[in-house]
Structure 1
Amino acid sequence: MGKPESPSSSEGQVIAKEEPYNVTISDQRLLDLGYRPKFRREMSLFGVLGISFCSIGILNGMSSALQTGLFSGGPLGLFWGWNICSFFMLLIAFSFAEICSAYPTMGGLYFWVCKMKPDVPILGFFTGWLYSMAMVFTGVSANLSAALYLSSLAEVGQGRSLTRLEIAAIAWAVNIFSGIVNTIGTKAIGHMSTLFVWWTLGGTVVLVTTLLVKAPTMNSADFVFTNVQNFTGWQSRGFVVLLGFLQAVYTLEGCETAAQVAEEAVRAEILAPLGVVGSIAGSWLIGLAYLLALLFAVQDIASVQATTFAIPIAQLFYDAVGPRLSQMCLIVIMVSQVMAAITTFTASSRLFYALARDNAFPMKKQFMTLNRFQAPYWGVWTSVLIGCIISCAYIGSAIAFNAILSSAAISVMLSYLQPIIIRVFWPDSIQDFGPFHLGKWSWPINFASFLFTIFVCVLFILPTAYPVDVFNMNYAIVAVGGLLVVITINWFWWGRHSFKGLVKTVMS
C-alpha cells in the first residue's frame, strides 16, 4: 500500500494505515472503498434475503396495518393499492440494488448519500440520523405490536384484556430479547433470518388454507375486487381509496435492510442487491396470496371496525375461523412479528456503527467495538434503551405513542428520498457500477421512484379521519418535524464540527 491520502480529500478523512490484511474476493470491493474488513463474512444469500424479509415482515406487517386499508377504501383499495404500491416499491428496490451493488458496505442509505454527494456532508448526516432513528422507532413499533398480539391471544383464549402497563411490560421484554439475540452476533441473526423465510412461507400456507377452508361464508369476486368501504368520515371516494394505500407502503418498507449487513455477507456486491430486490418481489406475491385469503374470508368489516380486541385482525380471524384456530393464526403472526423486531435493531446497531466510524455519532470507540460474537453491542443496547423509554409513552397516552411510531414510516420514506434525489438530479453520481446495473433504465426507474416517494410522504401526513379533532388528528407531521428540528440542532451544535464526510480506514 502507498501513502495515505490527505485528510482534506473530498471523501473525508483517512486514518492511519493498519497492518496488511489477507484480501479475499468478498473483501476487495470494501477495501477499494477505503474500509478495512472487520466482520466475518458468515451470511449466505438466504441469510441476506431473510434479513430484508424479516424487516418487511409481510405477515405481521399486513396483519398489523390491515385495518388502515380495510376501513379506508375496503377490499378495492386493499387489492389495487397492494399491487400498485408493490410495483413502485419494486422500482425503489431496483434503484437501491444498483447503488448497493456499487457500494456494498454497512450504513446503507447513509453511506450511499455520503459517497454520491461528498461535497454536501449535511445530506449524509441528516440521512444517517433520520434513518437510524426511523429504524429504532420501527423496532419499538414492532415490539409493541408483538405485545398487542399476545394481548389479543389472552382476549380470544381467556377473555382477559391486558392493561396498558402489562402490554408495555411485554414490549420491554421483547425489546430486551431483541437485544440479546443481536448481541449473540451475525451467525445467530443469519440463522434466524433463514428460519424467517421458511416461517413466512409455511405460515402463509397455514393462514391461507385455514381462512379458505374454515370460513363459514366466502365473499364473491365482485366484493373482493370492487367493494368500497369508508369509515373515515371523508366524502371523497378517491381520497379514501388513496388513504388505503398507506397499508401497502407501511407493510413493504424495509427492503434496504439487506445493505446493513453487506460487510457480513459473502459476495455482498451480488447478494445484497439480490436481497433488496428479492425481498420485495417475494413479499409482493406472498402478500397478495395472504391478502386475497383475508378478503375472501372476512365475514363482517363493521364487526372488525367495532372490535374490542387489541389488534383488529384478531376479530377477522375470530369471525372467520373461530376462537381456537384464531389463536393459532395469531401465534403464527406474533412469532413473525418478534423476528421482525429483532432485525430492526440489527439495522439500527449497524447504522450507529457506520455513523461512529465516520465521526457522525458520538462515542466513536464504544460504538465501533465488537464483542466476541462480532456484534456492535453498544448500538444494539442503545436501541434497546431507546425502545424501552419510548414504550413508556404507551402507558400514559396511546395517541402520543402512535404519533411517535407513525413518524417512523414517514422517516423511512424521507430517508429513501435522499439517494433517489441524487440519482435523479445527479445521474453521474456513481462512477464505478457493481455487477447489478440498470443501464439505460436507471434514470427512468429512479425518476418514477422519486415521484412515488414524494406522493407517499405527502399522503402519510394527511388526516385519516373527518371531522378532525385532537383524538384523530394525524400527529405524525408534528413528530417528524420535531425529529428534524433535533437533528438540525445537533448538526449546528456538534455535527458540522466533527463530521466532514466518509472516513477511510485503509488506502484504496
Structure 2
Amino acid sequence: MSTGPAGGGYRTSEDEQILHRLGYAQELFRAMGGFQNFAISFTIISILAGCLTSYFIAFNNGGPIAISWGWLWVGLMSTIISLAMAEIASAYPTAGGLYYWSSKLGSPAWGWFTGWFNLVGQIAVTAAIGYGLAIFSTSLINLWFDYPNTKEWTLLTYSVVMLIAVLLNMMKVSITALLNTISAYWHMVGVLFIVLVLIIVPDNHQSVSYVFTETINNSGFSGTNFGSIVFWYVFGLGLLMSQYTITGFDASAHMAEETHQASRMAAVGMYMSVVASVVFGWILLLAVTFAVPDTQGVLDAVGGAVTYIWTTSMSETWAEILLFICCVAQMFCLTASVTSASRMMFAFSRDRAVPGHRLWRKVAANRVPVAAVWAIGFLAWALMIPTYWNSATGYLVGTSIAVIGLYIAFILPVILRFRMGDRFEHGAWSLGNHYKWIDVVAIVWVAIISILFLGPVAPTGIPWKDGFNWDVANYAPLTVGGALLLFGGWWLISAKNWFKGPVRMGTAEELEQMEERTATAYEVPADTEYSG
C-alpha cells in the first residue's frame, strides 16, 4: 500500500521499495491480495478448461490410464517445477517475471531467449484456451439453437470469445481481480457439482479396472500394451492433455507488481494453484472417465469427446447445465490468460525487447496496458487460423507450442538458479537446500516433454518417411524451430548490441517522483490505502 504522512506527501510501501531495487516504478495498480494472486493462476490452469477440451488427446493416446495415472504423474512434476520457480519469483517479484530472472541470474542473452519463449508460449496458451472455449461454446449453442457445429463456425465463435476477453481486460485491475476471485470459487464449486452429477445421474458407469488399467492406442502407431516401447511413446503423447492444462501458473509472477506482499504471495500463489488444480482436476477426470458410455463413440467424437460423454450418458438438459458451467469457467480462464500475457508483453516492452515497445509499454488512465492487451488478443486469434482447415490437428499443435514455449521459459531461470547454488539471494520464501534436488528433477522433466511433444503424432505425419500430410503433421517443430531461429538470428545480428536486459527507470528518488506524478495524473490519492 502507499500512504501519505499526516502532513501529506508520498511514502513508498515495502512492495514498492522492493520494486525500486529491481529498477522499476509502481506504474501498475497494486490492488490484489494473496488469494487473488493464487486465483489468477488457478483460473488460467482451469481444470474446467484444459483437461476437458483436450480430453481426447489423452483418451486417443494411451486411453484411461493416460488420464487417471498420467494426470497424477504430470501433476507431481508440475508441482516440482512450480516450487523451483516460486523461489525465484520471491526473490524478483516483478511483472517481467521469467525473463527478468534469467537476465539477473545469467545474462541479457539468457533473458532475451527466456522472454521470447515466454511470450510465444503465453500467446499460444491463450489461443488454445480460447479455441477450447469455442469448441465447448459451439457445442452448447448447437444444443440450444441448432448452431452449426463445424470448424468454420467454431472459428467464428472463437473470434467472438477472444473479442470479449480483450474487452473485459480494458477494465481496471480491481475488476479483473474480482473476476478471478469469483472464478476460483466457480471452478471449485463447479467441479464438485459436475462430479456429483456424474456419480448420480448416469445409469451406467465404467469399472474401476477400466478407469485405472485400460489402454487405448488410436494414434495409428502400433502397440497397445505395457510391453511395447511404441505404446509408451503414444502414452507420452497423451500426457500433453495434463501438461497443457497445468500451465499458466507463471501468472502469479506476472501479476506481482499488482499484488500486496508480492515477495511471499506471488510464490505461494504459484505453487498452491498447481497443487489445488492437481487435486480438483484428478477428481473431475475420474468422474468423466467413469461416465464414458462407449469407447468407440468417444474416439469418434475427437475434440467433442466430453460433450459426447455427457450427452450420451445423461439427458440433454443435464449435459447443457454441465457445458454451461464449463463455458463460464473457460471464459474466466481466457480473460485471465489475456491479462497475464499482456502484463508479460508490457514488462518485456518496458525493457525495449519487443518491436514497437513504446506502444506496448504504455498504460491507460485506469493503469492497464491497453495496447498490449489488444496485441495479445490479435496474435492469439491469428495463431488458430489453421483450424479453419483442420480443427483437431490445429488445436493439438497449438497446445504443443504452448507447452514447449512456456516450459522452456519456465526452466531456463531454474537452470541458472541451480548453477548459482548458495550464492542465490532469497526472497521472503525459500526452498532451502531442497533446491538441489527439486531443480534437477524440474530440468530433466522439461527436457523430456520438450523432445516428446515435438515428435510425430501419427505414422503418416513423419516428414522424412511420408512427406508432410498437413492433416496429421505436427508443425510444432516448424513453429518452435522457426521461433528459435528468428530470436537467435535477431540476437546475433542486432539485439546483442542494444538489449542489455532489464533497464532501470531511474534512481530511487526519481522512481518515487514518477509514482507521485502517476498517482496525481490518474487521480489516485497519495494517502489512499489499497486493501488486498
- Fold match, TM over 0.5? yes
How far, CA to CA, are the matches of 2:164 and 2:481 in structure 1?
31
The answer to whether structure 1 residue 453 and structure 2 residue 453 are counterparts is no
The runs of 4+ residues in structure 1 deviating greater than 6 Å are none
3-state SS of paired residue (2:100): helix
Indicate which of 46, 52, 59 corresponds to 1:57.
Answer: 46
Deviations along 1:53-73, one digit per CA (max 9) or x if unpaired, are 111111111101111111222
Aligned to 1:97: 86
- Is this contact kept in 1: 2:127–2:398, CA < 8 A? no
How far, CA to CA, are the matches of 2:258 and 2:489 in structure 1?
34
Aligned to 1:479: 479
Letter in 2 for 1:136: I
Q: Unpaired runs of 5+ in structure 1?
A: 1-19
How far, CA to CA, are the matches of 1:129 and 1:243 in structure 2?
25
Aligned to 2:404: 410
CA separation of 1:297 and 1:165: change in aligned 2, threshold 3 A: closer
Shift of 1:453: 0.7
The answer to whether structure 1 residue 297 and structure 2 residue 291 are counterparts is yes
The answer to whether structure 1 residue 256 and structure 2 residue 245 are counterparts is no
3-state SS of paired residue (2:474): coil
- Is this contact kept in 2: 1:246–1:460, CA < 8 A? yes
How far, CA to CA, are the matches of 2:103 and 2:10 in structure 1?
25
CA separation of 1:201 and 1:426: change in aligned 2, threshold 3 A: same
How far, CA to CA, are the matches of 2:220 and 2:375 in structure 1?
41
CA separation of 1:376 and 1:494: change in aligned 2, threshold 3 A: farther
User: Residues 171-320 of structure 1: matches in 2 within 5 Å?
Assistant: 171-234=158-221, 235=223, 236=228, 237-307=231-301, 311-320=304-313
3-state SS of paired residue (2:315): helix
Aligned to 1:420: 414
How far, CA to CA, are the matches of 1:257 and 1:348 in structure 2?
8
Deviations along 1:243-274, one digit per CA (max 9) or x if unpaired, are 22221111111111110010000110111111
Letter in 2 for 1:123: W
CA separation of 1:217 and 1:164: change in aligned 2, threshold 3 A: closer
Letter in 1 for 2:421: P
Letter in 2 for 1:189: T
Aligned to 1:434: 427
Letter in 1 for 2:378: L
Shift of 1:131: 1.0
Indicate which of 335, 350, 360 corresponds to 2:353.
Answer: 360
Residue range with higher mean Cα deviation, 281-290 or 222-231: 222-231
The answer to whether structure 1 residue 489 and structure 2 residue 493 are counterparts is no
Residue range with higher mean Cα deviation, 418-427 or 453-462: 418-427
Shift of 1:182: 1.2
How far, CA to CA, are the matches of 1:43 and 1:350 in structure 2?
14
Equivalenced residues, count: 485
Shift of 1:437: 0.6
How far, CA to CA, are the matches of 1:404 and 1:294 in structure 2?
24
How far, CA to CA, are the matches of 2:145 and 2:344 in structure 1?
42
Shift of 1:187: 1.0
**Structure 1 length as normaliser, TM-score?**
0.91
Aligned to 1:13: none
- Is this contact kept in 2: 1:73–1:230, CA < 8 A? yes
3-state SS of paired residue (1:198): helix
The answer to whether structure 1 residue 503 and structure 2 residue 490 are counterparts is no
How far, CA to CA, are the matches of 2:295 and 2:411 in structure 1?
35
User: Residues 35-54 of structure 1: matches in 2 within 5 Å?
Assistant: 35-54=24-43
Aligned to 1:336: 329
CA separation of 1:203 and 1:413: change in aligned 2, threshold 3 A: same
- Is this contact kept in 2: 1:423–1:429, CA < 8 A? no
Aligned to 2:529: none
CA separation of 1:390 and 1:215: change in aligned 2, threshold 3 A: same
Aligned to 2:524: none
CA separation of 1:66 and 1:397: change in aligned 2, threshold 3 A: closer
- Is this contact kept in 2: 1:423–1:443, CA < 8 A? no
User: Residues 111-122 of structure 1: matches in 2 within 5 Å?
Assistant: 111-117=100-106, 120-122=107-109
Indicate which of 97, 101, 106 corresponds to 2:95.
Answer: 106
Indicate which of 460, 463, 484 corresponds to 2:456.
Answer: 463
3-state SS of paired residue (1:232): coil
CA separation of 1:283 and 1:402: change in aligned 2, threshold 3 A: closer
- Is this contact kept in 2: 1:359–1:498, CA < 8 A? no
Letter in 1 for 2:404: I
How far, CA to CA, are the matches of 1:429 and 1:418 in structure 2?
18
3-state SS of paired residue (1:76): helix
Aligned to 2:520: none
How far, CA to CA, are the matches of 1:401 and 1:283 in structure 2?
22
Aligned to 2:514: none
Letter in 2 for 1:280: V
Identity, in percent, stands at 26
